[in-house]
């Protein structure tokens, strides 16, 4: 466990040094968020409530999607894939540490920096410009905290899993892109899932993606409360466990293949 936190600490410090990139990312998040808010304000017009969301709810939702992009590495992440192609993975596998935890610890450092420098700053910045919604009780904040952590665990496990496709194909970049595109749509990143017709919501709920963004956002907006909230968090947890296990199985199969090829 000491090794785990040491790796986290180093990745945390490394991430802190990308100051220019953080600033550029923040400006981009703000700009796209403001455009999105503009579209939402126009869509709402005089409507008070659409699918259970008020205008401040909708704008808060848009801000949240921008706030979690960097925290979840939501646009692209190919680090493991790259080590499979370069062969660096063979030395990583020899390290005296579980391979999944080796990457989990490093991603944690990266995620913590981005949660605060990109996520919290975006939310605070938006609060200056727009009328936003906030969690309405201590319990809601607590649930939000748990849900935010679970969304990262789940999302990381997912990125871990799809990167392993590089064991089998030279086109892993193209394949993971499809998975990312599916994730953008079904997670509620492009639009709150509530706005969609019911059949789209039902299809989304068959995937782990709503647990990455939509659930977190609905807890933040107090849309999910009480038993519904508990259930949503348990679904997040269930998906996280399932994807972690899938990742372990696929990794084992992949490593076997790596040995056959002779690394």
Partner 1 sequence: MQYRASFFMELLGTALITLLEYASLALIFFRFEDLKGWSLGEIAFIYGLAEISFGFMDLFFSGFDPGNFGLRVRKGEFDQLLLRPLNIPLQILGSAFVLRRLGKIVVGVFIFSFALRQTNLVWTTAKILYLPLVVLGQVCFFGGLFIIGATITFWTVESIEVVNIFTYGGNYMMSYPMHIYQNWLRRFFTYLIPVAFLNYYPALYYLDKPDPFNLPTFAPFLSPVAGVSVFLAALAFWQFGIKYYQSTGT
Residue 181 or 249 with smaller CB distance to partner 1:
181
Q: With binding defined as CB under 8 A, does residue 234 bind partner 1?
A: no
One residue of 25, 109, 208, 210 binding partner 1 per CB under 8 A: 25
Q: With binding defined as CB under 8 A, does residue 175 bind partner 1?
A: yes
As measured in angstroms, the least distance from the Cβ of 28 to partner 1 is: 6
For 143, counting Cβ atoms within 10 Å of its Cβ (0-12 exposed, 13-18 middle, 19+ buried), the class is buried
For 45, counting Cβ atoms within 10 Å of its Cβ (0-12 exposed, 13-18 middle, 19+ buried), the class is exposed
One residue of 71, 152, 196, 209 binding partner 1 per CB under 8 A: 196
Q: With binding defined as CB under 8 A, does residue 50 bind partner 1?
A: yes
Q: With binding defined as CB under 8 A, does residue 121 bind partner 1?
A: no
Residue 146 or 190 with smaller CB distance to partner 1:
190
Q: Which stretch binds partner 1 (CB under 8 A): 43-51, 152-160, 212-220, 246-254?
A: 43-51
One residue of 24, 230, 245, 253 binding partner 1 per CB under 8 A: 24
Residue 24 or 249 with smaller CB distance to partner 1:
24
Provide the b/e sequence for 182-221 (b: ≥16 CB within 10 Å). Answer: ebebbbbbebbbbbbeeeebeebeeebbbbbbbbbbbbbb
One residue of 10, 14, 47, 252 binding partner 1 per CB under 8 A: 47
Residue 64 or 108 with smaller CB distance to partner 1:
64
How many angstroms separate the Cα of 72 from the Cα of each of 150, 233, 255?
Answer: 11, 18, 26
One residue of 3, 16, 41, 259 binding partner 1 per CB under 8 A: 41
Q: Which stretch binds partner 1 (CB under 8 A): 78-86, 144-152, 156-164, 178-186?
A: 178-186
Rounded to 5 degrees, φ, ψ at 49 are -150, 125
Q: With binding defined as CB under 8 A, does residue 206 bind partner 1?
A: no
- β-bridge mates for residue 53, sequence order: 50
Residue 66 or 140 with smaller CB distance to partner 1:
66
Q: With binding defined as CB under 8 A, does residue 45 bind partner 1?
A: yes
Residue ranges binding partner 1 (CB under 8 A): 20-21, 24-25, 27-28, 31-32, 34-35, 38-39, 41-45, 47, 50-51, 170-171, 173-175, 177-178, 181, 184-185, 190-191, 195-197, 200
């Amino acid at each position: 466990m000491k090794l785990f936190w040491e790796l986290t600490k180093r990745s945390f410090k490394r991430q802190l040094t990308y100051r220019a990139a953080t600033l550029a990312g923040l400006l981009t998040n703000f700009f796209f968020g403001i455009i999105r808010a503009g579209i939402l304000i126009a869509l709402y017009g005089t409507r008070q409530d659409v699918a259970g969301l008020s205008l401040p709810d909708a704008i808060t939702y848009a801000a949240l999607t921008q706030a979690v992009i960097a925290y979840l590495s939501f646009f692209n992440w190919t680090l493991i894939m790259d080590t499979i192609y370069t062969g660096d993975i063979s030395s990583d596998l020899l390290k005296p540490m579980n391979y999944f935890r080796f990457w989990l610890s490093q991603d944690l450092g990266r995620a913590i920096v981005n949660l605060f420098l990109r996520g919290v700053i975006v939310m605070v910045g938006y609060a200056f410009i727009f009328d936003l919604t906030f969690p309405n009780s201590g319990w809601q904040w607590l649930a939000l905290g748990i849900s935010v952590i679970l969304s990262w665990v789940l999302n990381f496990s997912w990125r871990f899993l799809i990167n392993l496709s590089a064991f089998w194909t030279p086109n892993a970049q193209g394949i993971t892109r499809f998975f990312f595109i599916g994730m953008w749509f079904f997670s509620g990143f492009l639009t709150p899932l509530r706005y969609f017709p019911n059949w789209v919501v039902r299809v989304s709920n068959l995937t782990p993606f709503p647990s990455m963004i939509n659930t977190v956002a609905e807890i933040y907006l107090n849309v999910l409360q009480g038993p519904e909230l508990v259930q949503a968090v348990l679904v997040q947890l269930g998906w996280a466990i399932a994807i972690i296990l899938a990742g372990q199985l696929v990794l084992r199969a992949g490593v076997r293949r790596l040995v056959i090829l002779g690394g």
